[in-house]
Structure 1
């Protein structure tokens, strides 16, 4: 087999919500909604110890606590990345607005896409950025719309499966619902 390079151009959608709520409150609301205390390494343990589909579903549902998503992290992974901290260190200042990228998800939702296209794993689990307004007047919440970055053809001119598109659109709706829940004043 020869080496091959395939380039597929696609248009992604960046979604930005702005709220007058302070960064610390938005972060606390997000962490509550993604059940941060129960998530973290427990997600990887649940994935590793489950022996059946039913056991996996039960273990993940226990972690999500009735919500769509759970915080994802492991001891050796940066899945909550505070960019402002290292940028301030690098620049020798303290002027970078608080900027934290959260990684969260739900394997039960992820499988609805991965079973149709394993390359969807490039954007699963999803990420969301909290960005403190530089003027101190609130917080921005940013994410790339999952349907625009997951439902991508594997070669130029190819079609995306309807099942993958539908599953990615469902994730997009869940992401928007999450953000609206944390910014509602």
Structure 2
């Protein structure tokens, strides 16, 4: 075989939209209260081999945390008017490790990207690709089991934030 080898495959992905009748600022604030920002100290512990201590801290985390976010609405200002749109990375490092230990490529989808946006008509919504569909491509019962729980946790918190 001659390297590099380029391969592609097509997968089916379920895309979810959860609409809200609340104002963008209200939904954003509620989401950020329900799903707090992860403490980067955990990654420092892991970097220095403090795995036992890191595991204890990871086990104490809530089901979901915000790893990071990008103000995509501000970026739109380059091409025209700004809009309310924030892309969040939401997940749990322990959950990710439970999947990636079976197939490292699952790391492509952990954490989950979630977009909170307001359309031109003022309708606020969350959008994301369902974990059960993105992780399903790996054909692993172990990954699927974790993805099902992740899917339930994510949907529940986003519906609560949107209410």
Q: 1:61 to 1:32 in 2, by over 3 A?
A: farther
2:152 corresponding residue in structure 1: 173
Q: 1:29 to 1:85 in 2, by over 3 A?
A: same
- Is contact 1:50–1:59 with CA below 8 Å preserved after alignment? no
Provide the C-alpha distance between the structure 2 equivalents of 1:170 and 1:49, rounded to a whole number of angstroms.
30
More strand by share: 2
1:57 corresponding residue in structure 2: 55
Q: Deviations over 1:83-132 (max 9, x none)?
A: 111211x12x4x34211101122111111211111100001111111011
Provide the C-alpha distance between the structure 2 equivalents of 1:151 and 1:181, rounded to a whole number of angstroms.
26
Residue 100 in structure 1 maps to residue 79 in structure 2: no
Provide the C-alpha distance between the structure 2 equivalents of 1:41 and 1:52, rounded to a whole number of angstroms.
14
Alignment map for 1:25-174 (pairs within 5 Å): 25-36=26-37, 39-49=38-48, 51-53=50-52, 55-62=53-60, 64=61, 67-72=62-67, 79-88=68-77, 90-91=78-79, 93=80, 95-136=81-122, 138-153=123-138, 160-174=139-153
**Structure 2 length normalisation: TM-score?**
0.88
- Is contact 1:46–1:59 with CA below 8 Å preserved after alignment? no
Say how many residue pairs are matched. 162
Alignment gaps of 5+ in structure 2: none
Q: 1:49 to 1:182 in 2, by over 3 A?
A: farther
Provide the C-alpha distance between the structure 2 equivalents of 1:96 and 1:29, rounded to a whole number of angstroms.
22
Q: Deviations over 1:3-59 (max 9, x none)?
A: 3222211110110000011111111111112212xx253343343356234x22322
1:156 corresponding residue in structure 2: none
- Is contact 1:69–1:105 with CA below 8 Å preserved after alignment? yes
1:157 corresponding residue in structure 2: none
**Structure 1 length normalisation: TM-score?**
0.79
Deviating beyond 4 angstroms after TM superposition, the runs of 4 or more aligned structure 1 residues are none
- Is contact 1:84–1:100 with CA below 8 Å preserved after alignment? yes
- Is contact 1:112–1:164 with CA below 8 Å preserved after alignment? yes
